[in-house]
Amino acid sequence: MLKFIAKRLGISLAILVLGSLLLYVLVINSGDPLQDLRESNDPNRENRIRQRIENMGLDMPWYERYWDWLTGASRCLVGQCDLGTAINGQSVNALVATAAASTLRLVVLASLLAIVIGVILGIITAIRQYSGFDYGVTLFAFIAFSLPVFWLGVLLKHYAAIEFNNWIVDADLSWPVILAVAAVLAFILQAALGGDLKRRLITFAAVALGIVAILTYFDLVTWFRRPAIGIPVYVLGVIGAAVLVIVLTSGFHNQRVRNAVAATAGVALVGYIAVRGFLMTSATIPILLVCFVAAIAVAVAAGQLLGGFSRRQATLASVVTALLASLLAIADLLLSNWSGYLKEQPRPIPTIGSATPNYESTFWMHSLDALTHIVLPTVTLMLISIASYTRYTRASMLDVLNQDYIRTARSKGISERKVITRHALRNSLIPLATIVAFDFAGLIGGAVITETVFGWQGMGNLFRTGLAAVDPAPVMAFYLVTGTAAVTMNMLADIAYAILDPRIAR
């Protein structure tokens, strides 16, 4: 495996260097970096031209300029990057520090959400092949995949930002809206669960009535302006998450896994109840990281100590339970601060920018501000990626489900849950390891357009302004960050592929 990783690392570095050389040559030959000064009537024009030639090294051969950039970029390996200066004299290092954080935050979040949602939808559509739910998701996938990024972004800005901001002032839900939402969600859920006509009708009626009751309650208490999960709902949520994890992994018959998950859930409940008040007032990123690491450590300890012969499965189930409990805790803390955020930001969903300028408030208010700014561009990128993951997962899952070993497992009387989760799912995810890497690179390219639509000062803006000014330094910085991220994802995909199928590393 080490030889395989070293080989992939060497190939990745070679691709980055060759790609940087090609891009550098293309940029410096795309126009004249002195054009704006040549057309200027400034009496100091000749002096300014001379200064720009000196600052950009235009009096040097192109290969010497490229070597200077490559030498400075190579120092990033030891934490001493020197990416030069932009055409206006700004340090590219400082520009990248801000821009890279914005773009990678956007792309990574969109990728994670797209993977989770797309894989789940793909598995369900494969299990419900040729059902109404399968056809509906397929239709959605083709529509989402064909949507232009800029057009989808403009639609979201209007309906998910402007219209939502108008609605949140009163947050009223009319009866037609409640009934329509309940009918649509109930129809989707009954299609996903399947069964005969009687079971579908019962599912539809139960889900519709439940959603109508919930939305009516939310409307009466103006929950959308003063939302909160609260301790009682958090307790129910963690218990439900633990039950779901047990059902999807070992089932309730495996006492050791059940005990490990129950212990993890119990510690999560007690711990969160104990520190909730402190986190509401004094939370910081380091404190939250410490809490998260502690939750994972407890989960691993519970799995190892209580798992017995199922130690590996118990540890995995406990870690997933701890992760879900942590996400519920974060959601509770954020929602508890939503009403206060609305007082400071009456129109909470912005249409432009990655943060509110000069906004000073508490940690949770700043967190909500960052989330509300990132939600629309994330959804824009995520919807397009979900379509790809759904189709690839469905095709891969169907291929695996038709294999002989799956029919053998079923003929032995193994439950359908175990056939899907233990035998089919792992093998169906092998092709997706490669798709994730390509999609990540595609999302970076789409982020350039998305950042333009939503006014983000990210790597896309750095690339666009550098290219327009025929300034190679910002463009090469864009390549260094995004290209390294894309190549790294491809390398990790190859390693994940080798882990899932060890024959590849031989």
- pLDDT tens-place string over residues 33-71: 888 888 878 788 888 888 888 888 888 899 999 999 999
The pLDDT value recorded for residue 192 is 80
Closest Cα partner for 279 from 287, 290, 271, 270? 287
What phi and psi values does residue 83 have, to the nearest 5 degrees? -95, 10
The pLDDT value recorded for residue 50 is 87
pLDDT per residue over 380-391, tens digit each?
A: 888 888 888 888
Please state whether 173 falls in left (phi above 0), alpha (psi between -120 and 50) or beta. Answer: beta
Residue 446 has pLDDT above 80, yes or no: no
Which residues, including other chains, have CB under 8 Å from residue 68's CB and lie 6 or more apart? 57, 84
Residue 486 CA to residue 438 CA, distance in Å, equals 8
Closest Cα partner for 156 from 372, 331, 342, 441? 372
Question: Which has more pLDDT, 453 or 504?
Answer: 453
Mean pLDDT, all residues of the chain: 87
Structure tokens at 128: 């419900």
The pLDDT value recorded for residue 505 is 56
Question: Which has more pLDDT, 230 or 259?
Answer: 259
Q: How far apart are the first and last CA of the chain?
A: 8
Q: Give the mean model confidence (pLDDT) for residues 417-423.
A: 78
- DSSP character string of 450-480: HHHHHT--SHHHHHHHHHHTT-HHHHHHHII
Residue 245 has pLDDT above 70, yes or no: yes
Residue 502 has pLDDT above 70, yes or no: no
Q: Give the mean model confidence (pLDDT) for residues 238-263.
A: 89
Question: Which has more pLDDT, 145 or 290?
Answer: 290
pLDDT per residue over 153-189, tens digit each?
A: 899 999 999 999 999 998 889 999 999 999 999 998 8
Alpha-carbon distance values, 125 to 65, 308, 401 (Å): 54, 36, 13
Question: Which class for 306: exposed (0-12), middle (13-18), buried (19 or more C-beta within 10 A)?
Answer: buried
Residue 170 CA to residue 286 CA, distance in Å, equals 37
The pLDDT value recorded for residue 300 is 95
* pTM of this structure: 0.82
